[in-house]
Structure 1
Amino acid sequence: MGSNSDDTLPPQGRFTRMRKLAGLSMQVGSEVLKNSAKRLAGGAPELLGKGAAEALVSTLGEMKGAAMKLGQAISMDPDLLTPEVRQVLARLQNQAPAMSPAQVSRVVREELGAPPEKAFREFSHEPLAAASLGQVHRAVLPDGRPVAVKVQYPGIADSMAHDLQNVGMLVKTVSKASKLMDGSAYFQEFRDELLLELDYRREASLAQGFKQSVAKLSDLYVPEVISSHSTGRVLTLELLPGLTLKDWVVTSPSPEARFRVARQLIRATYGPFFLAGEIHADPHPGNFMVMPDGRLGLLDFGSIKRFTPRFVDANQRMFLQAMRLETMDVLGLSREVGFTTELPDAEAEELIREILHIAGRPMRVTPYDYATCEITRDLRNHFARNAPRFLKVKPPAEAVMFFRATGGLAQNLRLIGASGDFRGVYLEVAELLEPGAPRSGA
């Protein structure tokens, strides 16, 4: 698709997209630099102002694809942004500019062999959500079941490829300049996973598999796939009632409700990982539905990541030892996970042990208050203080999506701001692996 016949579609062309990002970078970058200087001097609590945030939403929302996914990630960071700015950027999570009804009808007709009005008993052209790769419409099947229909943006595959070519060129340049900063393997992992999200048949299969992975966790729910109305660019799922996490959290939920949902998010992340070796690796707040019956609905399965048995097994043993408060062979287990190091063993172990100590606070301390959680900030500071040494400690490529999932979990828990016995929640996860294990964790 060389040019756009509809200005609601993502802009095409590698250099067109690069030019848009370059202009946005100049606009936003100057403000970040200015506010960074003010922060160092004790002022300017935010790195990004509301005006720059609106520019990000406008440009990245129009571009969609990988560029918009970057904006979604930025919108989740509570340490870099004020609540007002985060609220602006949160529109990127499921409120991007929508494509026209004519474009939606064209894609549905090409994929299902009939326009929406004939393929479904009812079809709302007003989107429920519009995100990075496609937008979602409420519809009713011929048999009366309400469904959510995800329709992929025309040309988004080319847009994604162009964005990733641009980023890949930067990664290659940096990697050639410094062996220590060679991020080629990590970029390749991230690139491959993003491109796989374009295949909705694959997503349908992943959704069905993930439903089995959470089957033991009755407080979580994965919608049914409607195979008869799903193809490579149209995905039809059971419509879940409720509010997305980002909409629910601003309704002033009770402390008990906050704890319940935070507990469910932890189980939704670590339960499938430890039980089935897979994880939901796109954890922005628009992908979770707080349902009226108290369950947490899970949405968007294009980025379900499946890990090697070695990676899962070593992480499982590390987790269980941490929950038992046992002394662990940090470096040995890290190497089993797939880490490599170019530091003396004692130095590498010290760096990794501190990461586990910071990240593991809710597993040791009870009660724990996520409203005042400083894990992300402290990890960021730990990396910054030890940057030259961290460049010599390399995780396996598959860890990229694991870190994306668990980092997103930490940010969502901070967003919810729940307080309570989270060590008990992690012990529940441990019991999934060791039924009948003592609840003391000793």
Structure 2
Amino acid sequence: MSSNPDDKLPPQGRLTRLRKLAGLSAQLGTEVLKSGARRLAGQESELLSKGMAEKLVATLGDLKGAAMKFGQAVSMDPDLLTPEVRKVLARLQNQAPAMGYDTVARVIREELGAPPEALFREFDRQPLAAASLGQVHRAVLEDGRPVAVKVQYPGVGDSLQGDLDNLGMVVKTVSKTSKIMDGTSYFQELREEFLLELDYLREARLCQGFARSISRLPDLKVPDVIPERTAQRVLTLELLEGQTLKDWVVTAPPPEERFRVSRQLIRAIYGPFFCAGEIHADPHPGNFMVLKDGRLGLMDFGSIKSFSPGFVSANRRLFLQAVQLQPMDILGLSREVGFTIELPEAEAEELIHEILRIAGRSMRSSAYDFTTCEVSRDLKRHFAKNAARFLKIRPPPEAVMFFRSTGGLAQNLRLIGAQGDFRRVYQEVADLLA
């Protein structure tokens, strides 16, 4: 390892980052082609080898920014990769290569006016976690309170901007080919949300707001903000004690614990959305913590998304009717949510109805088993089979973050593999709206 304290900072320059990604893409493409050839020959072959996964972790971890966010998303998909490969990629969730302590101290001094030693009674030089935009250090305030201090990587804003500009060129090129292939509004939504995550003062406000949004859910915990130790690139929060979801699940918890944590996850995503119109839109397993006192801790609030009242209201009615097994006006509610539908009504209704039927399986069953859940796989098959027609059913841009959150929830529930009466859990969420 280099002795340079800045050797783990994200590479700068849009072209530099593009070259690194291009090189990785070439290696990845070669491996996928080889895998496809082996499958055509009737041989068993995984899409991605453990060796290639290690290369992905090394490159995306060094790049950080949007590239690393992509790796985090891939690591959550249970149907795409083997458990062994996903375990390697899961390191991107909070174990990226860390920046040196000298750089950490410099950022804190620039943002808070003094070095860590002057601001905290204790400050661990080794990070607790290192992720896409910053890394977290354990510290202790002068009054003895343990805290988590998130410090942003210098230059990561430019890196993120460069990644998004590179991706934007691809989206723009594809969108020019056809109106129905136009993804610019969805990309713009993601772009704006990702760039907002760079402002830790904003994240502090969102954290405080989200604490209010879950106030009726005492089994959830949002850490307190320490305002006097927070600035644009430094965020100090109460330290939560426990295991991240990805670490907890490998301890083989008993069935009742799996069900309890799954229930908490469902409440953590849907409760704030239906009650306060906002959602945690970055739900990878490193952002949830099973606390020692039994509560579920939530972390990383830069991607809290607030929705328009109409979007929330229509989704609330759709949810209540689904839980209560009532007939619903599928097309009417879809349009109220903000969908644009350019198919014959009967055809569109059939396609959307099948989505709701697949996605709502656990809502309709008093004995659902997430260990054998195939919701994500069946949804992918449904979309793939009807790809051309789905291009004519377009959700509103704000739905992108909603789907990111609820899709991540489904993957987390599959990861936990709980069994039980999940219909009752969704009914509990519905009762919050009474």
Query: For residue 87 of structure 2, what is the aligned residue in structure 1?
Result: 87
Residues 81-160 of structure 1: pairs in structure 2 closer than 5 A: 81-160=81-160
Deviation at residue 6 of structure 1 after TM alignment: 2.5
Identify the residue that residue 161 of structure 2 maps to in structure 1. 161
Whichever residue aligns with residue 117 of structure 2, its letter is E
User: What's the counterpart of residue 384 of structure 2?
Assistant: 384
Residue 341 of structure 1 and its aligned partner are, at CA, apart by 1.0
Match of 1:197 in 2: 197
Residue of structure 1 in register with 2:430 after alignment? 430
Q: In the TM superposition, what whole-angstrom CA distance separates every residue of 1:189-223 from its partner, at most 9, and x where no partner exists? A: 00000000000000000000000000100100000
Q: Distance in 2 between matches of 1:295 and 1:328?
A: 35
Q: Check the 8 A contact 1:307/1:398 in 2, yes or no.
A: yes
Q: Deviations over 1:22-42 (max 9, x none)?
A: 100111122123223444665
Alignment correspondent of 1:350:
350
Give the letter for the 2:342 counterpart.
Answer: E
Q: Which runs of 5+ in 2 are unaligned?
A: none
Contact 2:5 2:103 in 1 (8 A): no
- Superposed displacement of residue 182, structure 1: 0.4
Which residue is 1:393 aligned to?
393
Give 1:394 shift. 0.2
* Distance in 2 (alpha carbons) for counterparts of 1:137 and 1:84: 28
Separation in 2 of the partners of 1:40 and 1:147? 54
The C-alpha deviation readout for 1:243-270, integer Å capped at 9, x for no partner, is: 0000000001000000000000000000
The question of whether the paired residues in 2 share the 8 Å contact of 1:14 and 1:159 is answered with yes
CA distance in 1, matches of 2:43, 2:361: 30
Match of 2:237 in 1: 237
1:61 corresponds to: 61
- Say which is worse superposed, 227-236 or 340-349, in terms of deviation: 340-349
- Please name the residue that 1:372 is paired with: 372
Say which SS state the counterpart of residue 135 (structure 1) adopts.
strand
TM-score normalised to structure 1 length = 0.96
Residue 366 (structure 1) shift = 2.2
The CA deviation string for residues 138-190 of structure 1, in whole angstroms up to 9 with x for no partner, is 00011110000000000000000000000000000000012111000000000
1:269: which partner in 2? 269
Partner of 2:406: 406
Instruction: Tell me how far apart the structure 1 counterparts of residues 284 and 86 of structure 2 sit (CA, whole Å).
Output: 12
Aligned residue number for residue 417 of structure 1: 417
Residue aligning to 1:290:
290
- Cα–Cα, structure 1 residues 40 and 209, in superposed 2: closer, same or farther, change >3 Å? farther
Cα deviation digits, residues 367-394 of structure 1 (max 9, x gap): 0001110000000000000000000100
Q: CA deviation at 1:338?
A: 0.1
Query: Distance between the aligned counterparts of 1:38 and 1:399, measured in 2?
Result: 38
Structure-2 change in CA distance of 1:267 and 1:16 (3 Å): same
1:43 deviates by 4.2
State the SS of the aligned residue for 1:389.
helix
Quote the residue 1:211 is aligned against: 211
Amino acid in the other structure paired with 1:130:
A
Structure 1 383/76 Cα, relative in aligned 2: closer, same or farther at 3 Å?
same
Aligned counterpart, 1:170 = 170
Is residue 46–residue 80 contact of structure 1 (8 Å, CA) maintained in 2? no
Kindly indicate whether the alpha-carbon contact (under 8 Å) linking 1:207 and 1:301 is maintained by their aligned counterparts in 2.
yes
Q: CA contact under 8 A between 1:284 and 1:408: conserved in structure 2?
A: yes
Which structure 2 residues correspond to residues 8-47 of structure 1 after superposition, within 5 A? 8-39=8-39, 43-44=43-44, 46-47=46-47
Residue of structure 1 in register with 2:227 after alignment: 227
**CA displacement at 1:5 relative to structure 2:** 8.4
Whole-Å separation in 2 of the counterparts to 1:360 and 1:205: 33
CA RMSD for the aligned pairs?
1.1
- Aligned-partner residue type, residue 120 of structure 1: F
Using structure 2 for the length normalisation, give the TM-score. Answer: 0.98
The gaps in structure 1 that reach 5 residues or longer are 435-442
Number of matched pairs: 431
Contact 1:45 1:82 in 2 (8 A): no
Contact 2:201-2:231 within 8 A present in 1 as well: yes
Q: Amino acid of the residue matched to residue 68 of structure 2?
A: M
Deviation at 1:10, TM superposition (A): 0.2
2:341 alignment counterpart? 341
Q: Is the 8 A contact 2:5 2:100 kept in 1?
A: no
Please tell me whether the aligned partners of residues 277 and 309 of structure 2 are also in contact (alpha carbons under 8 angstroms).
Answer: yes
Label 1:41 to 1:360 Cα distance change in 2 as closer, same or farther (>3 A).
farther
Give the direction of change, closer, same or farther, for the CA distance of 1:202–1:295 in structure 2 (3 Å limit): same
SS of the residue corresponding to residue 143 of structure 1 reads coil
The one-letter code of the counterpart of 1:403 is F
Aligned CA distance change for structure 1 residues 43 and 225 (closer, same or farther; 3 Å): farther
Q: How much has 1:48 moved relative to structure 2?
A: 1.0
CA distance in 2, matches of 1:41, 1:423: 44
SS of the residue 2:389 aligns to: helix
